[in-house]
């Protein structure tokens, strides 16, 4: 999902409050710090022997299903499986194995467990039955711990939720967890979501459970539920805050624009038609959505002149109160342009960002812009501020100190 606060980025070493607007891969930096001495131990045995071990030890099998070309698989192996907390828990509670799904026994296991995306993390009992799964490489230790605990808890596993759903359970609390498990397994949620809402009266769509369901899972701007939200956004806003409701509508429209922009059959006509549909919806932030969507489009198509001109003309209007967005855009300009006029504009965004909330990141951005504009003394002043703030936050100083040294040479 693409959010307005995710547009653009600063250099990865500093992680300036955002992720790249077009980037869907995992962030490999800013995951650092403490020394880790232990790793998850993966048993290297034939599958039949692993099943026998699981039975004799009365343990579930944790399987990392990977491929050699999968970037997130490599990241997870290097950055998560090497954490002491995870190593201790998984080595104690599970028989841990990993298989290349495109080689040897992995080929048959991929077919048996219907592995279609990588990495896939499977929990399998001694009978060879998959009981829980998740697709992808979670970035937080707690996610791996939660995943393991769910796999060990009867009634909470993915396959058990599937069975409850087949038996007709449509309780909102159950459906919330079921849809989360489907998403975690990289499986479609549209049909279960459609069936759930079919069990609800229209008037019930305003209740808290259904607002949560809409807010978390409804992402189709043409769905009846989104149409109802749009039509009754004032009522939702009174109950659940205007910001949360507006943010949801913004996100759905932004996702629609992004999807059509990335489509192989993209045409300017279809894109403009969608923009007009958003304008005609009556949504108060329609123009802000369109501004953000156009920035995204120009960046994807490498139309730098259009991108720059649009940013210069509209950023203060639509994001003038968003310190993080101002900083992201200022850093983006620092990275891509040498034009003094554009750099001065970016410096204006950076100093405005600082006035809204002074952080190590935006002070560093402003310092770099000053240096690029030949204003070394001002660059040094603001880089020192960035270092002081970073010390207060106990953040990594390496990049900031390297910049200061460069500025002082």
Closest C-alpha among 409, 358, 365 to residue 383 = 365
How many whole angstroms separate alpha carbon 347 and alpha carbon 372? 10
Structure tokens at 178: 């079921």
Active site residue 32: no
**Alpha-helix residue ranges (DSSP H) falling in 218-374:** 224-231, 233-240, 242-262, 268-280, 286-300, 304-319, 323-336, 340-356, 360-372
361-384 mean pLDDT: 97
Cα dihedral sign, 25-29-33-36: positive
Helix (H) or strand (E) holding 110: helix 105-112
Is pLDDT at 362 greater than 60 in this prediction?
A: yes
Q: How far apart are CA 295 and CA 8, in angstroms?
A: 10
| Confidence at 36, pLDDT banded by 50, 70, 90 | low
Least confident of 31-40, 76-85, 188-197, 365-374: 31-40
Q: How far apart are CA 395 and CA 375, in angstroms?
A: 26
What is the Cα–Cα distance from 328 to 324, expressed in whole angstroms?
6
The average pLDDT across 209-228 equals 96
Lowest mean pLDDT among 28-32, 230-234, 263-267, 294-298: 28-32
Q: Which candidate in 14, 40, 51, 70 is catalytic?
A: 70
Q: Which residue has the higher pLDDT, 6 or 229?
A: 229
14, pLDDT greater than 70: no
Residue found by looking up tokens 């039509």 in the block: 231
Q: Are residues 14 and 361 in contact, defined by beta-carbon separation less than 8 angstroms? A: yes
Question: Does residue 73 carry a catalytic annotation?
Answer: yes
Q: In Å, how far from its chain's centre is CA 191? A: 23
Whether residue 371 is predicted with pLDDT greater than 50 in this model: the reply is yes
Residue from 73, 135, 343, 379 carrying the catalytic annotation: 73
pLDDT at 203: 87
Mean pLDDT of the residues in the chain:
90
Number of neighbouring beta carbons within 10 Å of residue 312: 16
**Which of these, 42, 144, 16, lies nearest to 403 by C-alpha position?**
16
- 206 vs 226, 246, 337, CA distance in Å? 12, 15, 48
pLDDT of residue 271: 96
Asked if 371 and 382 touch (Cβ cutoff 8 Å), the reply is no
- Angle at which helices 304-319 and 340-356 cross, to 10°: 30
Is residue 233 a contact partner of residue 242, using CB atoms and an 8 Å limit?
no
181 pLDDT band, cuts 50/70/90, is: very high
Rounded Cα–Cα distance for residues 311 and 313 (Å): 5
Is residue 58 within 8 A of residue 112, CB to CB? The reply is no
Collapsing DSSP to helix, strand or coil, 149 comes out as helix
CA 174 to chain centre: 24
Q: What one-character-per-residue DSSP string does 266-296 give?
A: --HHHHHHHHHHHHHTT-TTHHHHHHHHHHH
User: pLDDT band at 88, cuts 50/70/90?
Assistant: very high
């Amino acid at each position: 999902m693409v959010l307005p606060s995710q547009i653009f980025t600063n250099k990865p070493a500093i992680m300036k409050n955002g992720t790249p607007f077009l980037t869907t891969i995992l962030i490999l930096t800013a995951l650092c710090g403490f020394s880790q001495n232990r790793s998850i131990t993966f048993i290297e045995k034939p599958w039949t022997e692993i099943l026998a071990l699981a039975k004799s030890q009365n343990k579930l099998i944790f399987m990392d299903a990977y491929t050699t070309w999968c970037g997130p698989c490599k990241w997870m192996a290097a950055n998560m499986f090497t954490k002491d907390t995870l190593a201790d828990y998984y080595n104690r509670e599970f028989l841990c194995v990993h298989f290349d799904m495109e080689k040897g026994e992995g080929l048959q296991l991929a077919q048996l467990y219907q592995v279609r995306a990588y990495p896939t993390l499977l929990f399998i009992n001694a009978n060879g039955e998959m009981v829980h799964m998740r697709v992808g490489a979670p970035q937080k230790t707690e996610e791996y711990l939660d995943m393991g605990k769910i796999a060990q808890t009867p009634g909470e596993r993915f396959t058990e939720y599937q069975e409850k759903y087949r038996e007709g359970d449509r309780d909102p609390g159950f459906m919330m967890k079921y849809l989360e498990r489907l998403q975690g397994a990289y499986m479609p949620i549209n049909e279960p979501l459609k069936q759930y809402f079919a069990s609800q009266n229209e008037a019930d769509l305003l209740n808290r459970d259904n607002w949560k369901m809409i807010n978390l899972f409804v992402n189709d701007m043409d769905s009846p539920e989104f149409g109802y939200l749009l039509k009754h956004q004032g009522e939702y806003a009174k109950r659940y805050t205007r910001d949360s409701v507006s943010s949801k509508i913004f996100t759905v429209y932004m996702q629609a624009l992004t999807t059509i922009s990335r489509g192989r059959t993209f045409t300017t006509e279809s894109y403009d038609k969608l923009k007009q549909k958003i304008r005609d919806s009556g949504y108060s932030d329609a123009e802000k959505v369109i501004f953000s969507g156009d920035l995204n489009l120009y960046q994807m198509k490498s139309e730098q002149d259009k991108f720059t001109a649009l940013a210069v003309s509209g950023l203060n209007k639509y994001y003038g109160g968003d310190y993080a967005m101002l900083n992201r855009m200022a850093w983006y300009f620092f990275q891509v342009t040498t034009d003094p006029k554009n750099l001065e504009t970016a410096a204006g965004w950076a100093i405005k960002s600082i006035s809204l909330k002074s952080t190590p990141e935006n002070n560093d951005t402003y310092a770099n812009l000053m240096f690029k504009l030949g204003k070394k003394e001002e660059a040094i002043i603001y880089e020192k501020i960035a270092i002081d703030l970073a010390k207060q936050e106990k953040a990594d100083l390496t990049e900031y100190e390297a910049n200061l040294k460069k500025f002082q040479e």
